[in-house]
Every structure is written in C-alpha cells, then in structure tokens.
Amino acid sequence: MTVIYTQTLNKTDYEYFIRPHETLSRGEDRIFRPKTPAMVAGITNHPWTINELLGYKVVCQ
C-alpha cells in the first residue's frame, strides 16, 4: 500500500470541498447555511480548509 500526499490544488477540488455554493446553501426558509457539493453528496460534513485539502492522504492499492 502506498500513501501519496497531495500538494496540488485544482479548481475542481476547491469547488467541491472548500467553496460553499449559494444554490445548495439556502433551504426553504432562505437562510444561508454554507454547503459544498461534497457535503450535499455526503462525502464530508463541513467545508474543508485549504490545509485539510492539501494534507489529505490518498491511499493507492
């Protein structure tokens, strides 16, 4: 098993894990609650920081 630390940040990672999206963040009551696409998909429960994203371990088998 190989562990690879990612040190690159691309636009897709930023859009999915860090940046809350307006249309996903407003419920029927129209109150803004920050949600990223990764949160809506159930991958994570909070918007990530850049440090979390860059420090994420990718395990290759």
pTM of the model: 0.73
Strand-strand pairing, 57-60 and 2-5? antiparallel
Yes or no: say if 18 and 54 are a contact pair by the CB < 8 Å rule: no
One DSSP character per residue, 25-49 reads HB-TT--B----HHHHTTS-SSPPP
Task: Please give the pLDDT value at position 38.
Answer: 94
Query: Each residue of 2-45: pLDDT tens digit?
Result: 555 555 667 888 889 999 998 888 888 888 889 999 999 999 99
Amino acid, single-letter form, for residue 36: T
Yes or no: say if 45 and 33 are a contact pair by the CB < 8 Å rule: no
